[in-house]
Amino acid sequence: MKDIDGILDEAGLTNPHVREYVKEWAEITQPERIEVVNAADDDRLLAESVEEGEILPVKGGLYYSRSYWKDTARSEERTVVATSDPKEKGVYNNWRDAQETVDVQIKRMTGASKGKTMYVLPYLMSPVGNPLEKYAVGVELTDSRTVVHHMIRMARVGVEYVNNLKEPDHFVRAVHVTGDLENLGQGTDDDQRLFATVADRRTILHFGSSYGGNALLGKIAHGLRQACYDGWDSKEFLAEQFMLIGITDKETGRRYHICGGFPSASGKTNLAMMLPPDALGDRYQVDFYGDDIAWLWVNPEDGKLYGMNPEFGAFGVAKDTNEVTNPTAMESIAPGTKVLFTNVAYNEKTQEVWWEGLTPEPPADVDGWIDWKGNRIADRPVENQRSGAKEDAWAHPNSRFTTTLANVPNVAEDFERPEGVPIDAIIFGGRARDREPLIRALRSIPEGVYDGLTLGAEATFAAEGKEGVLRYDPMSMRPFMAYPEGEYAAHWLRIIGAAKETPIFAHVNWFQRDEDGRYIWPGYRDNLRALLWLMDLKEGRAEGQETPVGILPRQEELNLEGMDIAQEDLDQLLYIDEKKWLAEMERREEHLEQFDGLPEEIWEAHRDVLKKFEEN
């Protein structure tokens, strides 16, 4: 290998601390080559990957990749947060000792990149000039060129983000080593994979994957876990798995910004990419800021809560994405966008891609199609080629598309605004069949934080045998929590409580069903109607109706223009079932009791809801 200093000099990487970090890990992982990457290298690297068969071309200037079949999703049980203080162990953060974890990872990573290229990716997880920029700088070292393609789409990449730091040593050190994927014992007692965020050292060490959040270290590991810890440690900000949208009333000129957390499969991406329903399109505009992460802080100059999406792209789930469910997403992956698909079905002859839900049925002609494991559909028994059965899926259910924010057709014009945007509302949305109303606004910061801590989605009867019971996912951060939950709640109260203008909190549920299993709210574009009511309530144009669990809309306060909905459905959408809610309150108490040091304000909010039921 050439002299490392010469390589870094040629690349224009001047930060001495970054250079030392690169040398240190090159000695450990022992790559054959080192290459410093800037965003401008994307086209060249794509051409190299296609030429070597690492990725495949999709017609229209798009690309397709396939990960190892045992490496297709995040692995929560193999993901840890390590620090030097055992008191930072929480219920969900899979706490480990920092030094022990570093030692284990160094042992696994030693020599593991032999024969490969170490790609050096200096990156920024924020708009340039953002108040939290110092926490957003990182340098990922990876031995996977496919990871480089994803990172260029998901983060701002280039040496300019590290060369002139005010604190040259203040950047996240993120090391990704793929490992021998076929011999890592995935899912066995001898599983060698480990994805560690050593939070108090601002170091990320991931070994044993080349997929998604396991490998794109700027995204989940930095953008959520490390940032979550940094925000708490600095007492400056919150880093949450939140979507962020803007809503403009073109009649009044008023603009609102709403962020919020949703557990998996609860409609977060579809809401983030929502367009107004046709009947409201002339008056309202909805802008996309982000579908997965938001950092929140109080601006000391005006005292308002601000937010921004630290990501530069979207890593969307392909399954069930189509022109009806999410036309915005479909436009963001259109020809010319250079989107990278992962683990969808691919046609080697026509260079097309397909996934379940893109069209009602798979392509009629199976010639040339290969599934997410790389097997030819035509080689299957005829009855398994287009059966629609789960076991015969063409694409993996967690198949993805990676595209830049600039490709999203309704991306906000100011998504790169350094100051971020003022937050008017924070919403939480679970998935509940019949207990949660369409929307309920919350009366105070403690009640809002309490609601977020008890957020969840119902388990399915088939999967869990507990229909109607939530799998709790506090603030939708269960897999990403970096420090104890009691401290987490206190930090939320501190940050939001410091704002002079408090955003309104609310809980939404798009998934109520009737006795026949039919969804009684159409969802998708019509979800805007509930959010417009929330803004009306916040600004005094609506009063709502008080219930023990929050303020619900009066039916006449909802803007239902152009919507055909039965009266009995509307009644059900705004109904509180006291019996089911009291049963839920018992489960909430049990859930919260597992968190040490939970602030008394949270318990007061819990007791206040119970008291209101007693008085009701």
Q: Which residues are catalytic?
A: 266
List CB contacts of 246: < 8 A, sequence separation 6 or more: 255, 256, 257, 286, 287, 289, 412, 421
* 399 marked ligand binding residue: yes
Closest CA to 490 of 380, 570, 595, 564: 595
H helices, E strands: number in the chain = 17, 31
What would the two tokens of residue 349 be? 């002859």
Which SS3 state, helix, strand or coil, does residue 603 take? helix
Q: Is 266 annotated as a binding residue?
A: yes
Does residue 70 have a known ligand-binding role? no
457-458-462-465 Cα dihedral, nearest 10 degrees: 130
Establish whether 183 is an annotated binding residue: no
Was 74 annotated as part of a binding site? yes
Tell me whether residue 164 is exposed, middle or buried, using C-beta atoms within 10 angstroms of its C-beta: 0 to 12, 13 to 18, 19 or more: exposed
* Closest alpha carbon to 164 in 128, 195, 201, 120: 128
Q: Has 400 been labeled as part of a binding site?
A: yes
> What does the block give as tokens for 185?
């014992």
Residue 524 known to bind ligand: yes
Residue 611 annotated as binding? Answer: no
Cα-to-chain-centroid distance, residue 217: 13
268 labeled binding residue: yes
Answer whether 30's CB lies under 8 Å from 151's CB.
no
Render the burial of 30-44: b for 16+ CB within 10 Å, e for the rest.
Answer: bbeebbbbbbebbee
User: Is 264 labeled as ligand-binding?
Assistant: yes
Tell me the C-alpha to C-alpha distance, in Å, between residue 502 and each of 155, 329, 358, 383, 545.
Answer: 30, 32, 41, 58, 21
Length of the chain: 616
Please report how many Cα atoms fall inside a 13 Å half-sphere around the Cα of residue 240, on the Cβ side.
Answer: 30
Q: Flag whether 398 is marked binding.
A: yes
How far is 591 from 583, CA to CA, in rounded Å? 13
d(CA 35, CA 516): 58
Residue 212 annotated as lining a ligand binding site: yes
Report whether 267 belongs to an annotated binding site.
yes
CA 301 to chain centre: 30
- Structural contact between residues 225 and 480, judged by C-beta atoms closer than 8 angstroms: yes
Residue 559 marked ligand-binding: no
Torsion sign (Cα): 380, 385, 389, 390: positive
The one-letter code for the residue type at 153 is: R
What DSSP assignment string belongs to 267-288?
SHHHHHT----GGGTTTEEEEE
CA of residue 55 relative to chain centroid, distance? 24
CB 162 within 8 A of CB 139: yes
Find the largest Cα–Cα distance for the chain: 77
The answer for residues whose C-beta is within 8 angstroms of residue 436's C-beta and 6 or more apart is: 430, 507, 509, 512
On whether 374 is known to bind a ligand per the annotation, the reply is no
Which segments are annotated as binding site for GTP?
265-270, 400, 431, 524-527
Which segments are annotated as binding site?
74, 211-213, 264-270, 398-400, 431, 524-527
Which segments are annotated as binding site for substrate?
74, 211-213, 264, 398-400
